[in-house]
Amino acid sequence: MLVQLGVFSSRSEALRELIKAGMKEFRLVIDVIKAVENFLNLREKGDIPIRLDGALKQLLEERGRF
Amino acid sequence: MSYIDTSIIIAALDSTDPRMHQARRVLEEVGDKIISELVLVELTSVLSRRRELISDLAEKLGLSEDLLIMAVLLYIIKRFNLTYKAVRYQVATLPLGRVYMPLAVAMKLSAQLKLKTLDLFHAAYIKLLKDEGEPIHTLVTVDSGFEGVKRRLRQILGVTTFMV
Protein backbone atom coordinates (compact mmCIF):
# COMPACT_ATOMS: atom_id res chain seq x y z
CA MET A 1 0.00 0.00 0.00
CA LEU A 2 2.77 2.46 0.91
CA VAL A 3 4.48 1.70 -2.39
CA GLN A 4 1.17 2.10 -4.25
CA LEU A 5 0.65 5.44 -2.56
CA GLY A 6 4.09 6.58 -3.69
CA VAL A 7 5.40 7.04 -0.14
CA PHE A 8 8.22 4.59 -0.89
CA SER A 9 9.60 3.71 -4.28
CA SER A 10 9.89 -0.04 -3.61
CA ARG A 11 8.87 -2.73 -1.13
CA SER A 12 12.46 -3.13 0.01
CA GLU A 13 12.75 0.60 0.71
CA ALA A 14 9.46 0.48 2.65
CA LEU A 15 10.60 -2.49 4.72
CA ARG A 16 14.01 -0.93 5.39
CA GLU A 17 12.42 2.29 6.62
CA LEU A 18 9.80 0.51 8.73
CA ILE A 19 12.41 -1.72 10.37
CA LYS A 20 14.45 1.37 11.12
CA ALA A 21 11.40 3.05 12.64
CA GLY A 22 10.66 0.07 14.90
CA MET A 23 7.62 -2.06 15.75
CA LYS A 24 5.67 0.69 17.49
CA GLU A 25 5.83 2.94 14.43
CA PHE A 26 5.06 -0.06 12.23
CA ARG A 27 1.77 -0.63 14.08
CA LEU A 28 0.86 3.04 13.66
CA VAL A 29 1.57 2.81 9.95
CA ILE A 30 -0.75 -0.19 9.69
CA ASP A 31 -3.50 1.78 11.47
CA VAL A 32 -3.04 4.67 9.06
CA ILE A 33 -3.16 2.35 6.05
CA LYS A 34 -6.36 0.76 7.34
CA ALA A 35 -7.87 4.23 7.67
CA VAL A 36 -6.89 5.11 4.10
CA GLU A 37 -8.49 1.87 2.89
CA ASN A 38 -11.67 2.82 4.77
CA PHE A 39 -11.70 6.19 3.04
CA LEU A 40 -11.23 4.53 -0.32
CA ASN A 41 -14.11 2.14 0.42
CA LEU A 42 -16.33 5.09 1.32
CA ARG A 43 -15.39 6.69 -1.97
CA GLU A 44 -16.48 3.58 -3.85
CA LYS A 45 -19.90 4.15 -2.33
CA GLY A 46 -19.96 7.46 -4.17
CA ASP A 47 -18.85 10.02 -1.66
CA ILE A 48 -15.52 11.70 -1.01
CA PRO A 49 -15.33 11.51 2.78
CA ILE A 50 -13.22 14.64 3.16
CA ARG A 51 -15.13 17.88 2.73
CA LEU A 52 -13.32 21.13 3.31
CA ASP A 53 -16.09 23.65 2.81
CA GLY A 54 -14.82 27.22 3.00
CA ALA A 55 -11.20 26.09 3.18
CA LEU A 56 -10.06 27.53 -0.15
CA LYS A 57 -11.07 31.07 0.81
CA GLN A 58 -9.30 30.55 4.14
CA LEU A 59 -6.10 29.27 2.49
CA LEU A 60 -5.96 32.08 -0.05
CA GLU A 61 -6.65 34.72 2.62
CA GLU A 62 -3.89 33.30 4.79
CA ARG A 63 -1.46 33.30 1.86
CA GLY A 64 -2.42 36.92 1.30
CA ARG A 65 -1.36 37.81 4.83
CA PHE A 66 2.26 36.91 4.22
CA MET B 1 4.77 16.62 -15.29
CA SER B 2 2.67 19.17 -13.39
CA TYR B 3 3.41 20.71 -10.01
CA ILE B 4 0.16 20.74 -8.07
CA ASP B 5 -0.34 23.71 -5.80
CA THR B 6 -2.22 23.15 -2.53
CA SER B 7 -4.96 25.55 -3.62
CA ILE B 8 -6.30 23.28 -6.36
CA ILE B 9 -6.43 20.27 -4.03
CA ILE B 10 -8.36 22.31 -1.48
CA ALA B 11 -10.64 23.66 -4.23
CA ALA B 12 -11.44 20.10 -5.28
CA LEU B 13 -12.66 19.32 -1.74
CA ASP B 14 -14.50 22.59 -1.10
CA SER B 15 -18.12 22.41 -2.20
CA THR B 16 -18.65 26.10 -1.40
CA ASP B 17 -16.23 27.10 -4.14
CA PRO B 18 -17.60 27.36 -7.68
CA ARG B 19 -14.38 25.86 -9.05
CA MET B 20 -14.77 22.56 -7.17
CA HIS B 21 -15.92 20.44 -10.11
CA GLN B 22 -13.41 21.96 -12.49
CA ALA B 23 -10.60 21.54 -9.96
CA ARG B 24 -11.60 17.92 -9.42
CA ARG B 25 -11.78 17.28 -13.16
CA VAL B 26 -8.35 18.84 -13.72
CA LEU B 27 -6.82 16.74 -10.93
CA GLU B 28 -8.40 13.62 -12.37
CA GLU B 29 -7.42 14.32 -15.97
CA VAL B 30 -3.89 15.75 -15.70
CA GLY B 31 -1.24 13.02 -16.05
CA ASP B 32 1.91 13.02 -13.93
CA LYS B 33 1.33 15.20 -10.89
CA ILE B 34 3.92 16.05 -8.25
CA ILE B 35 3.56 17.73 -4.86
CA SER B 36 6.16 19.01 -2.43
CA GLU B 37 6.49 18.93 1.34
CA LEU B 38 5.09 22.47 1.38
CA VAL B 39 1.81 21.16 -0.08
CA LEU B 40 1.69 18.58 2.72
CA VAL B 41 2.28 21.26 5.35
CA GLU B 42 -0.41 23.55 3.95
CA LEU B 43 -2.89 20.66 3.75
CA THR B 44 -2.05 19.64 7.31
CA SER B 45 -2.58 23.18 8.51
CA VAL B 46 -6.01 23.35 6.86
CA LEU B 47 -7.04 19.89 8.08
CA SER B 48 -5.90 20.43 11.65
CA ARG B 49 -8.31 23.33 12.00
CA ARG B 50 -11.29 21.30 10.75
CA ARG B 51 -11.80 20.13 14.31
CA GLU B 52 -15.20 18.55 13.91
CA LEU B 53 -14.29 16.62 10.77
CA ILE B 54 -11.00 15.39 12.23
CA SER B 55 -12.33 14.45 15.67
CA ASP B 56 -15.37 12.65 14.18
CA LEU B 57 -13.25 10.66 11.75
CA ALA B 58 -10.58 9.96 14.38
CA GLU B 59 -13.22 8.58 16.73
CA LYS B 60 -14.90 6.55 14.00
CA LEU B 61 -11.61 5.00 12.90
CA GLY B 62 -10.04 4.70 16.36
CA LEU B 63 -7.02 6.83 15.48
CA SER B 64 -5.39 9.73 17.24
CA GLU B 65 -5.95 13.04 15.49
CA ASP B 66 -2.36 13.36 14.26
CA LEU B 67 -2.48 9.88 12.70
CA LEU B 68 -5.88 10.64 11.25
CA ILE B 69 -4.47 13.72 9.53
CA MET B 70 -1.66 11.53 8.15
CA ALA B 71 -4.28 9.09 6.83
CA VAL B 72 -6.24 11.91 5.20
CA LEU B 73 -3.07 13.16 3.50
CA LEU B 74 -2.39 9.67 2.15
CA TYR B 75 -5.99 9.37 1.04
CA ILE B 76 -5.77 12.69 -0.85
CA ILE B 77 -2.50 11.57 -2.49
CA LYS B 78 -4.13 8.32 -3.58
CA ARG B 79 -7.48 9.87 -4.52
CA PHE B 80 -5.91 12.33 -6.96
CA ASN B 81 -3.04 10.09 -8.01
CA LEU B 82 -0.40 12.56 -6.79
CA THR B 83 3.27 11.83 -6.26
CA TYR B 84 4.96 13.32 -3.24
CA LYS B 85 8.62 14.01 -3.83
CA ALA B 86 10.95 15.18 -1.09
CA VAL B 87 13.77 17.50 -2.04
CA ARG B 88 17.26 16.43 -0.98
CA TYR B 89 18.20 17.85 2.39
CA GLN B 90 20.67 20.59 1.63
CA VAL B 91 21.77 23.77 3.26
CA ALA B 92 22.99 26.88 1.43
CA THR B 93 25.60 29.16 2.88
CA LEU B 94 24.56 32.74 2.38
CA PRO B 95 26.43 35.86 3.54
CA LEU B 96 24.16 35.83 6.58
CA GLY B 97 24.69 32.19 7.50
CA ARG B 98 23.42 28.69 6.74
CA VAL B 99 19.88 28.45 5.38
CA TYR B 100 17.74 25.39 4.45
CA MET B 101 17.91 25.18 0.67
CA PRO B 102 14.21 25.75 -0.21
CA LEU B 103 14.28 28.94 1.84
CA ALA B 104 17.57 30.05 0.29
CA VAL B 105 16.17 29.47 -3.22
CA ALA B 106 13.01 31.38 -2.25
CA MET B 107 15.16 34.28 -1.07
CA LYS B 108 17.08 34.20 -4.34
CA LEU B 109 13.91 34.13 -6.45
CA SER B 110 12.17 36.85 -4.47
CA ALA B 111 13.81 39.77 -6.27
CA GLN B 112 12.76 38.40 -9.65
CA LEU B 113 9.28 37.09 -8.86
CA LYS B 114 8.11 39.46 -6.12
CA LEU B 115 5.59 36.91 -4.84
CA LYS B 116 4.07 36.55 -1.40
CA THR B 117 5.91 34.18 0.92
CA LEU B 118 4.05 30.93 0.39
CA ASP B 119 3.72 31.42 -3.37
CA LEU B 120 7.44 32.12 -3.42
CA PHE B 121 8.14 28.89 -1.55
CA HIS B 122 6.14 26.93 -4.12
CA ALA B 123 8.22 28.55 -6.87
CA ALA B 124 11.36 27.55 -4.96
CA TYR B 125 10.18 23.94 -4.67
CA ILE B 126 9.46 23.85 -8.40
CA LYS B 127 13.00 25.04 -9.07
CA LEU B 128 14.57 22.54 -6.67
CA LEU B 129 12.51 19.61 -7.96
CA LYS B 130 13.40 20.55 -11.52
CA ASP B 131 17.08 20.84 -10.58
CA GLU B 132 16.80 17.32 -9.13
CA GLY B 133 15.58 16.01 -12.48
CA GLU B 134 11.78 16.17 -12.25
CA PRO B 135 10.48 17.25 -15.68
CA ILE B 136 7.99 19.82 -14.37
CA HIS B 137 6.52 21.93 -17.17
CA THR B 138 3.30 23.24 -15.62
CA LEU B 139 2.15 24.79 -12.37
CA VAL B 140 -1.51 23.98 -11.70
CA THR B 141 -3.18 26.37 -9.27
CA VAL B 142 -6.27 28.40 -8.44
CA ASP B 143 -4.23 31.03 -6.62
CA SER B 144 -4.51 34.29 -8.56
CA GLY B 145 -1.27 35.41 -6.90
CA PHE B 146 0.54 33.55 -9.69
CA GLU B 147 -1.47 35.26 -12.42
CA GLY B 148 0.68 38.37 -12.62
CA VAL B 149 3.97 36.48 -12.83
CA LYS B 150 3.09 33.88 -15.45
CA ARG B 151 5.60 35.27 -17.94
CA ARG B 152 8.38 35.46 -15.36
CA LEU B 153 7.63 31.93 -14.15
CA ARG B 154 8.02 30.75 -17.72
CA GLN B 155 11.25 32.69 -18.23
CA ILE B 156 12.87 31.92 -14.88
CA LEU B 157 11.56 28.45 -14.02
CA GLY B 158 10.51 27.23 -17.46
CA VAL B 159 6.98 26.41 -16.34
CA THR B 160 3.61 27.35 -17.77
CA THR B 161 0.97 28.41 -15.25
CA PHE B 162 -2.41 26.73 -15.60
CA MET B 163 -5.04 28.63 -13.66
CA VAL B 164 -8.37 27.02 -12.83
DSSP string, B25-56: HHHHH-SSEEE-HHHHHHHHHHHHT-HHHHHH
Task: Please tell me the distance in Å from A61's CA to the nearest CA on chain B.
Answer: 10
Sign of CA dihedral B58, B61, B62, B68: negative
**Of chain B residues 7-26, which have a CB less than 8 A from chain A?**
7, 10-11, 13-17, 19
Task: Please tell me the distance in Å from B163's CA to the nearest CA on chain A.
Answer: 14
Is pLDDT larger for residue B83 or for residue B63?
B83
Mean pLDDT of chain A: 77
Is pLDDT larger for residue B9 or for residue A64?
B9
Q: Per residue in B85-134, pLDDT tens?
A: 999 989 998 888 999 999 999 999 999 999 999 999 999 999 999 999 99
B22's CB contacts (< 8 A; 6+ apart) are: B164
Q: pTM for the full model?
A: 0.87
Q: Per residue in B41-64, pLDDT tens?
A: 999 999 999 988 888 888 887 888
B116/A57 touch (CB, cutoff 8 Å), yes or no: no
Comparing CB atoms, the residue among A7, A50, A59 nearest residue B72 is: A50
In the predicted model, is pLDDT for residue B67 greater than 90?
no
Confidence of residue A48 (pLDDT cuts 50, 70, 90): low
Contacts of B143-151 spanning 24+ positions with Cβ under 8 A: B143/A60, B143/A63, B143/B5, B143/B7, B143/B119, B144/A60, B145/A60, B145/A63, B145/A64, B145/B115, B145/B116, B145/B119, B146/B5, B146/B115, B146/B119, B149/B113, B149/B114, B149/B115
CB of A21 less than 8 A from some CB of B: no
In the predicted model, is pLDDT for residue A40 greater than 90?
no
What is the interface pTM, i.e. ipTM, of the complex? 0.87
B125's CB contacts (< 8 A; 6+ apart) are: B3, B36, B37, B38, B87, B102
| Strand B2-4 to B138-141 pairing | parallel
Confidence of residue A49 (pLDDT cuts 50, 70, 90): confident
In the predicted model, is pLDDT for residue A35 greater than 90?
no
Let me know: does B54 contact A51? Beta carbons within 8 Å.
no
B13's CB contacts (< 8 A; 6+ apart) are: A48, A50, A51, A52, A55, B20, B76
Say what the pLDDT of residue B35 is. 97
Say what the pLDDT of residue A47 is. 64
**Of chain B residues 77-106, which have a CB less than 8 A from chain A?**
77-79, 82-84
Say what the pLDDT of residue B24 is. 94
Let me know: does A17 contact A8? Beta carbons within 8 Å.
yes
